[in-house]
Structure 1
């Protein structure tokens, strides 16, 4: 299922929680907390102001005011940083009249340790997500169908769900010390819609057990769930955008035309879900010496270490406009990308002025007119997008040509980048024989 990061939620059911009601202090606290909570335009997601690009950092695209901007010249402090040890809490919610068929442990196992392993690998061990899962179902006050759960959830119904979920959990769950909260609904309860699994990033935190709670995921997944779904939603907690395209209602257009299988923020079903090196740069997992910036007219030579493995140069960038850049990285069948369709040097265009879901990244099709892995790829035309040895790509304006020169025994890929005045290299684009 394709996701966006507005809000969703869902409950679960359990005899142990039957009849449990909020403590008097909880009712008083929630009356105050949620009054302020609603006044914040409860489900407004945050986009912080951009900082100016550092002098000389020619390839640092500026953060813009759009939601989840791909700018890398600053960090929106309203979002948590995926650095070091991050603690997550998983709470299980049930509904009246629908006893759960699964145990909380079974549902937790649908998502963990897979989600932790994914992000540990993607971050080269720099981001460690630790989960504490509650051990019993807590019963919501109303049936799931009462909340009208759906992908494009009405804000008032969504608010009512989250309000009830927090109020239901607080009497018996200690929220203190957790950076992320997953509210997991009984997957078998009538009225639960798996397409409503989404992130809630609050414009201002609410206090529960003295802990400021700002980042939550309302989980409504089937059992077993969509592949990498919780890893995808967790990415939104750290300010990553949706990279898929959401067609208008009634349209049969493809969702995955922007990035295909590449990066799980496009499709959690993708064959190569490891985050783009651009995202690893944004999240602080790449050192400055692992990112190259091509400036000025001329020819330069570079080695790229695979995105999936630690160490080496990971990202090469050519600034193409005020808010745009051409990025290059190497992708191989290892780690999170062990079932990738193809290997090679992947190119993509980045725009920091396009918001989540509106195409902030577009993978360059290195083999236009061809497709690959039709049985398993989410979008076969881009499954073979990377350039192989001896292949080249020239930007439409003719200003940049990228040629893959070799693939070394240590896994690195060698590339040549030629920068010329616009039009000097011709206006051909796509893969071809290297000159």
Structure 2
């Protein structure tokens, strides 16, 4: 069977779904790999490396000749529609925000596997792309803060005086948050963190951070993810966090609820209460933002409450892509490991076993149906909304008819 690796088209995306190392792994499964010329260039891999690893380098992928398409970013509906019926895809799909693509996949009868749906169980850790990419993003958050912060991170005791360590506060202690804590700690900062999951306290301590306990009931969903708070509890959380935010020199927010808009953790007023020169990095800026007013890919200056200075709010965008070499190394291994699960024998035949909880859990669409229940419900709701005309639309049609 033929596996296709495209060159990612989204502006700013530098990752690739296969490296020469993962191509060798796929070839060892008996699969033929075709990769689009230049696909790995931004991640540090030349076409010649892929050819040496056993891949066929092509000027452009012939989608009709692909049995399985491995990708990084969600597919465009046109790409999904261009695949032959019965083909498979493996990659990040963002089903909650890419409903047109999901519809195109079902219409084309494509079996699509979304890596963000891989169950969080020990057997599937090597396929968990959300975790591998969060590792990269959490590290990047601290680097972005450090280059903008006008002071040192570590403590320095010199003949000219003592420079105190920066105080870094991390909100959200998932994989990205823990990586941010560890990175800031290695840079010498004094680090504290908070998460609405009480079980995170031990993990924060293991990375060298101090866990901030709020008088707030924990909220943990299945799979170890955080559960979205109600509006009232969200407001209470912000109120309790406000003094800790004001005391921080650097604030890094990494909170996310899969498939939902990122929770608002920090208001503009809380940012204004920080010291002049402080830096805020919002990792969730692309999914709505943990920080009010943050913009993906932009630095926003917020005046301090006393009007004497500014706080810089950094909205991250394409954070993992900014470290394309290692992000691709990890992601490509996730992809290859998942594909290996679909190949029961080393003969190149891809035969998904839907009795396997990992395969079934990651399946987004199959045989013209949406397997992921929340996405199916969202598509049904969208179809219903389109089928019911709004009163204002009826009025406009009447007026035009009369005129």
Shorter-chain TM-score: which interval?
under 0.3
TM-score by length of 2: 0.25
Q: Going by fraction, where is helix more abundant, 1 or 2?
A: 2
Q: Going by fraction, where is strand more abundant, 1 or 2?
A: 1
TM-score by length of 1: 0.24
